[in-house]
Chain A
């Protein structure tokens, strides 16, 4: 087929010139052949991962797991999740009209799933969460929910039962729904003064009551007035201990990052693979000590200070809140560095309201020595920290990361946590490791 040949030619040329454009070939092909995706023959297994956060990691977990089980898998590169990126990934695995793999595993932007499922029917769509994220682009979680509802061309959905917002797909999707969740554990909260996206029952507007929270409205909820609740869970993490999680009180998996965000990604990947018929032993083999999350989670020691770098998306209060909770697992003295350069790569707006949806209040009285606020929005971050009840004189303001190592070593104490937007991770690591590797 001409589309495939053209796409492959562009990918080939890009490789020669070492371009790393992961969506350009797809864009050109779709421009010339708008129905290109409709004409292809797809494998029997098509898995789509969408939602606000964790898509990239979950997709990679599933793809790696299937590969370890000797399947040939096509999956799109981390973040190239609009239709052009998806098409590019498909082209590179297509011969003529046939997508020549055993499984297609796609990470798809929550607003673009409807464009992909217009051409490709999924066996499974999995959604981990719909949170506050990129308001200028997304509007709000309600609008994202409606956009996803337009693209549910799938046999099954695999959903996080702990989020009351996702339970609402029951009214909008006729197929089978498989649920996963995380049971009460040492990281669950009886009370969590976190901003909620769903505080009221979507059926009768009664305030939901919680047995425990994991973050935001995510936890074990029920409506005191009607039958709306978390319901039956097919696959549940029932314990977390010493880097081993147990699923349904039976299956054990080794992990190297026990943040709840990562655990939700893992249980999502597990549930998808069980749903498509993989055996427990093969899933466990595939997931054991997967290194996927290393990129989001970096630990090192410089001059006897322990550094932990947490990658946090700006405009997404949930990832910040979960990372703050993770920091507080450390009861020793600590110093935090909070920084970002750009609010978004996609647009130039200056909305900072999301900073006020982050529960910085929990840092108070928790053995935090200093907080360094860095980058163009350093004063906005500092104002937020101040109103969270943190003493202004313990806030250090820096224009960028230059000289930060010296400030950390001379003016702060305790373990260092970098809570950083993607564009501050590299500069921070480079600065703090500089000269003392």
Chain B
């Protein structure tokens, strides 16, 4: 299985690398051979090569740099998502895939792949999150810390009920939750692995420490 870690040295603000470590270890434990391409600005990206691509979070200025370098790949990324391939985007990188980013009077064209746009706030949005997830029906916990917010016409959200946060489209998952989402949510990771491998029954894996950490977080975040 090939993983493309897009701009690993720019979109890396909040321990995002943990998600790559989680995928690598869990897939390896399933007997899958995992190859990770660490992609830098200016590298040629062949999206056809990947089964999963990952985008982490960055400073707001660095996100715009990443956006400029990704624009030539707009149609490739669109095709990739439409072909049901896996794309995970955490933190502010979700803003890349919408129509545009509005910062005050400045409107910046984004990749225009999904049906939402971003508006920047004067104040940062800082929250601990603990919501029931539409994908695996258990709670997802985590932390968000961002200035932009998404205004979406997409039909599918990551969370249930009134918490219309996150965007789900085919196997695209985008969320403002930062950092090692897949590490902190072992049940979500297990489900993700099943869907990646397209198997209901996968080899049992040792998630003991992760589950203890998850249980503690669920308890702490009301």
The interface residues of chain B lying within 8 Å CB-to-CB of A349 are 126, 128, 143
The interface residues of chain B lying within 8 Å CB-to-CB of A132 are 13
**Could you say which of B61, B145, B206, B213 contacts A380, with CB atoms under 8 Å apart?**
B213
Considering only residues 118-171 of chain B, those with a C-beta below 8 Å from chain A are 124, 126, 128, 143, 145, 147
Considering only residues 338-379 of chain A, those with a C-beta below 8 Å from chain B are 349-357, 376-377, 379
Annotate B17-53 by CB proximity to A: 1 below 8 A, 0 otherwise.
Answer: 1100110010000000000000011100000000000
Q: Determine whether the beta carbon of B65 is less than 8 Å from that of A205.
A: yes
Indicate whether A140 sits within 8 Å of B59 (C-beta atoms), given known contacts A205-B65, A207-B41, A351-B178.
yes
Q: How far is the CA of A380 from the CA of B210 in the complex (A)?
A: 7
**Could you say which of A139, A195, A350, A351 contacts B12, with CB atoms under 8 Å apart?**
A195
Interface size on B, residues (CB 8 A): 41
**Could you say which of B15, B16, B221 contacts A355, with CB atoms under 8 Å apart?**
B15
> Which segment, of A38-46, A284-292, A381-389, faces chain B?
A381-389
Annotate A137-149 by CB proximity to B: 1 below 8 A, 0 otherwise.
Answer: 0011111000000
Q: Determine whether the beta carbon of B18 is less than 8 Å from that of A387.
A: yes
The interface residues of chain B lying within 8 Å CB-to-CB of A356 are 14-18, 21, 179-180, 183
A199 interfacial contact with B, CB 8 Å: yes
Nearest-neighbour CB distance to chain B for A382, whole angstroms, equals 5
The interface residues of chain B lying within 8 Å CB-to-CB of A139 are 124, 145, 147
Considering only residues 174-222 of chain B, those with a C-beta below 8 Å from chain A are 178-180, 183-184, 206, 209-210, 212-213, 216-217, 220-221
Q: How far is the CA of A206 from the CA of B42 in the complex (A)?
A: 8
Nearest-neighbour CB distance to chain B for A373, whole angstroms, equals 9
**Could you say which of B62, B143, B183 contacts A351, with CB atoms under 8 Å apart?**
B143
B81 interfacial contact with A, CB 8 Å: no
A200 interfacial contact with B, CB 8 Å: yes
Q: Determine whether the beta carbon of B209 is less than 8 Å from that of A386.
A: yes
B113 interfacial contact with A, CB 8 Å: no
Q: Determine whether the beta carbon of A383 is less than 8 Å from that of B209.
A: yes
**Could you say which of A140, A199, A383, A392 contacts B213, with CB atoms under 8 Å apart?**
A383
Nearest-neighbour CB distance to chain B for A434, whole angstroms, equals 28
Question: Of all chain B residues, which has the CB nearest A195?
Answer: B12
B10 interfacial contact with A, CB 8 Å: yes
A34 interfacial contact with B, CB 8 Å: no
Q: How far is the CA of A318 from the CA of B203 in the complex (A)?
A: 38
Q: How far is the CA of A387 from the CA of B9 in the complex (A)?
A: 20
A136 interfacial contact with B, CB 8 Å: yes
Q: Determine whether the beta carbon of B13 is less than 8 Å from that of A352.
A: no
**Could you say which of A196, A206, A351, A387 contacts B145, with CB atoms under 8 Å apart?**
A351
The interface residues of chain B lying within 8 Å CB-to-CB of A427 are none
Considering only residues 37-82 of chain B, those with a C-beta below 8 Å from chain A are 40-42, 59-62, 65, 69
Can you identify 15 A-B contacts, CB atoms within 8 angstroms? Answer: A136-B126, A136-B145, A199-B40, A205-B41, A205-B65, A207-B41, A350-B217, A351-B128, A352-B180, A353-B15, A355-B15, A356-B15, A379-B213, A387-B21, A387-B22
Interface, chain A (partner B; CB < 8 A): 132, 135-136, 139-143, 195-196, 199-200, 205-207, 349-357, 376-377, 379-380, 382-384, 386-387, 392, 395
The 5 closest A-B pairs by CB, nearest first: A356-B15, A353-B179, A142-B59, A353-B15, A379-B213
Interface, chain B (partner A; CB < 8 A): 9-10, 12-18, 21-22, 25, 40-42, 59-62, 65, 69, 124, 126, 128, 143, 145, 147, 178-180, 183-184, 206, 209-210, 212-213, 216-217, 220-221
Seed contacts A349-B128, A350-B220, A357-B14; 6 additional CB < 8 Å A-B pairs: A139-B147, A140-B13, A200-B65, A351-B178, A353-B178, A382-B209
